Amino acid sequence: MVSFEDAFGDMPLIAILRGLPADCAIKTGTALFEAGFRIIEVPLNSTGALESIELLSAHLGDEVLIGAGTVVDAVDVRRVADRGAQIIVAPNLNPKVGRATRDAGLIWCPGIMSPTEAFSALDQGADVLKVFPAELVPPDVISAMKTVLPADSKMVAVGGVTADVMQAYVLRGTDGFGLGSGLYKPVYELSDVKSRALNYVSVMKRLSAQTL
């Protein structure tokens, strides 16, 4: 299985496939992988999420980090771990979910909005900080938080991220992004999803090169 460090280092974008039908999981995941994505999240409030996670893990798990999103109950951590999930993404900071994630040996990405929540998450073992919803946390706020957080802290902005706002976030220290409806909706044609994915990857590569 691919490690988080390798996947995130290769392409720090998380594909959020909310509403993904299980019978579209493999072809959608394959299209994203071919476009350059290395981390895919299926929110648990999607119909058939567990089946999709299992299918994606079985077919792409050696090259793509597969995870579960909208994990708000510790019981769900073991359920998704049993189906091959390697990363647990949450909209909030729930210590019980954090403990369950660590106990399962998975990557934990809780939602935070403030320095207090960020430090608390790191103290509880968070691997990545999900700044959510990003619409309420401008780039300058992330920059301010980054100045006081440990230098190796990773922050991803999630919520309303479009290609044209990525530059402002990256220039102020944002390490990556979670991409939802701007990348995927069940009504999008597969070719459209891949085109959107290629555009996001191209923008991220360009911005990463600029900040080296």
E strands, the chain, where?
A: 13-16, 39-43, 65-69, 87-89, 107-109, 111-112, 129-131, 155-158, 176-179
User: CA-CA distance, 183 to 180, in Å (whole number)?
Assistant: 6
Catalytic-labelled residue, pool 63, 130, 189, 194: 130
Catalytic site includes residue 189:
no
User: CA-CA distance, 110 to 92, in Å (whole number)?
Assistant: 6
Among residues 174, 199, 169, 170, which one has the least CA distance to residue 184?
Answer: 199
CB of 110 closer than 8 Å to CB of 98: yes
Catalytic-labelled residue, pool 41, 96, 135, 146: 41
Q: What strand order describes the sheet that includes 129-131?
A: 107-109, 87-89, 65-69, 39-43, 13-16, 176-179, 155-158, 129-131, 111-112
Phi, psi of 59 (to 5 degrees): -95, -25
Q: Is the peptide bond before 150 cis (omega within 30 degrees of 0)?
A: no
Catalytic site includes residue 130:
yes
Measure the CA dihedral 92/22/7/173, to 10°: -40
| Residues with catalytic function | 41, 130
